[in-house]
Structure formats: structure tokens, C-alpha cells
Amino acid sequence: MTYFMQTLILAQASWSKNLKPLVFVVTLMALISRADIASESLPPALLGNASPLQGETLNYYENATGYLIAPEGQGPHGSVILIHEWNGLTDRVREVADAMATEGYIALAADLYSGRTGSNPGENMALVRETLADPGTLIANLDAAARYLSARHDSTGKVATIGWCYGGGVALSFALGGVEHQATAIFYGRLLDDPEQLKKIDHEVYGTFAGQDRSISVDAVNQFVTALRSAGVPNDVHIYDSVNHGFWLHVDANPEVRSAPALDAWNRLKRYLARTVGS
């Protein structure tokens, strides 16, 4: 059984009151002073207020039509590959690509479902199972995306991946077996706790997780960070204890609770990208 299939079904772990987290746990109280300005500082895409899409479609791989946008100016620019959630490439992810271009990055929102999207959990899970059963095609898809971005005339050649949920787990798998790239950002995606496998990663890893997540537990995140440390992989991994799975990409679903943690995670992401793939 492959790593993809082994980690497909995530069990909820028991939380211990005596657990000493190995990652930085951010409470809402620590962020409350910023809550009133979070909505002004977050990308409008996360709040459901994005402007009309500014990019274009790109056939970068067989049966895969992604969404591409480049920043203004000749560059060179760093690049990011955005890896969608379990329901497929949606306008929300395309809007985040636009936000990344505003930050100065060439952004390609990858399509891992051959143009399909799910409209309910059953359809979503069917797409997840189908694609995770063929990990070679997933990696080849992202290899093509990375090669396209690094070869552009306006590119620095440096590429990061950013993935959410299903896409976060795929981003980790790509870090273990894909073509060379310089950064991996995981938002509440499935994890791995084997230091020997994680030694394959040659760059710093970013992670944002939710303390109320019933699929990616605090224990699982701590085990992941322990394994990263054992493997000698630098990392910036935080848990935000007041929020649940999916909070960052969908702040508009509960802005009162999600805005402040999402803002902190966004600022961390910007600093991470600047030091790993920034021009």
C-alpha cells in the first residue's frame, strides 16, 4: 500500500491535557488585538470579496487545465503552485492565485481532477480516492507545473507549493518525490511521522493547522514536527486552537472566529515565501 493510500483515512486522535506541544500553539486571545483589522489585511478572496478573476487558463499537463496569473513587471519573480482542496479547482483557489500575484509571485493553480469538481462529500471523496490511487500521475502533474514555472523568462526558477486539505497532503507527497522545488506550505493536510521518509525534503516546511480539527489532530501535528526535527528539516508549524479544519481558505464562513488566526497565518506565509522563493 502506498503512502497516499495509507494516509487517506485519518483517525481522530485522543487529546491529552498534559500534552506539551512541539509546535507553536496560537490562541485567539493572543491575536485579539488584531481581530478588528484582520478583515482589512487579509486577501479579499478569503472573505468572499475578491475582484473578478484576472488570470487565464493554462493547459500545462495532459487533461489538466490550470489557472495562471503573473504579477506586473518584468521580474524575475518567484513562483507558487496552488493545490486545491478535495472538491477540486474552484474560483476560491483561483482568487487566491490572484492574491499571490498581487504579492509579486507567478501563481499557477493546479488541476488534479482533470477539470472535474465535486458538489458534495460523496463526490469529493470519490475524486480523492481515484487520484490518490494513482500517485504517479499526481506527481507527474505537479512536476509539469513546476517545470513550466521555473522555465518562464520572468521566473527566478524558484517554486513553492501551497496546498489545503487534500492539497496539503499532496504538497507533502510532492516534497518527498517531485522535481526540485524550494518550499512546501501545508494547510491542515494529511501528514507523515517517519523521519527516514522526511529526510528526502531539502527545504523548510511551513504548516498551519487547527486545534479543533477532527481529522488532523494536535497529536498528529506534534508527531509530524518531531519527525521533521529528527530528519533535520527546518520548519515553521503553528496550531491555531480556536478554529477548525478549512478555516484559512474560508474565513467568510465564520469571520468573527477565523479572521485573526487567518491573518497571523497569512503574515507567516508571506514571510516564509519571501525567505524561500522571493526574488
User: CATH code for 3-8+16-276?
Assistant: 3.40.50.1820
Tell me if 260 sits within 8 A of 31, measured CB to CB.
yes
Would you state the pLDDT for residue 94? 99
- Going 154 to 156 to 159 to 164, the CA torsion angle's sign is negative
Considering only CA atoms, which of 108, 208, 112 is closest in space to residue 151?
Answer: 108
Question: What is d(CA 190, CA 200) in angstroms, rounded to the nearest whole number?
Answer: 17
Tell me if 18 sits within 8 A of 248, measured CB to CB.
no
pTM for this model (two decimals) = 0.89
The total number of residues shown for the chain amounts to 279
Question: What is d(CA 65, CA 186) in angstroms, rounded to the nearest whole number?
Answer: 23
DSSP letter at 251 equals G
Would you state the pLDDT for residue 34? 46
- What lies within 8 Å, CB to CB, of 161 at 6+ separation is 80, 81, 83, 142, 171, 174, 175, 181, 183, 184, 185
Would you state the pLDDT for residue 57? 98
Would you state the pLDDT for residue 27? 53
Output the tens digit of pLDDT for each of the chain's 279 residues. Answer: 343 333 332 322 222 223 344 555 555 444 444 444 444 599 999 999 999 999 999 999 998 999 999 999 888 999 999 999 999 999 999 999 999 999 999 999 999 999 999 999 999 999 999 999 999 999 999 999 999 999 999 999 999 999 999 999 999 999 999 999 999 999 999 999 999 999 999 999 999 999 999 999 999 999 999 999 999 999 999 999 999 999 999 999 999 999 999 999 999 999 999 999 996
Would you state the pLDDT for residue 215? 93
| Spans of all domains in the chain | 3-8+16-276
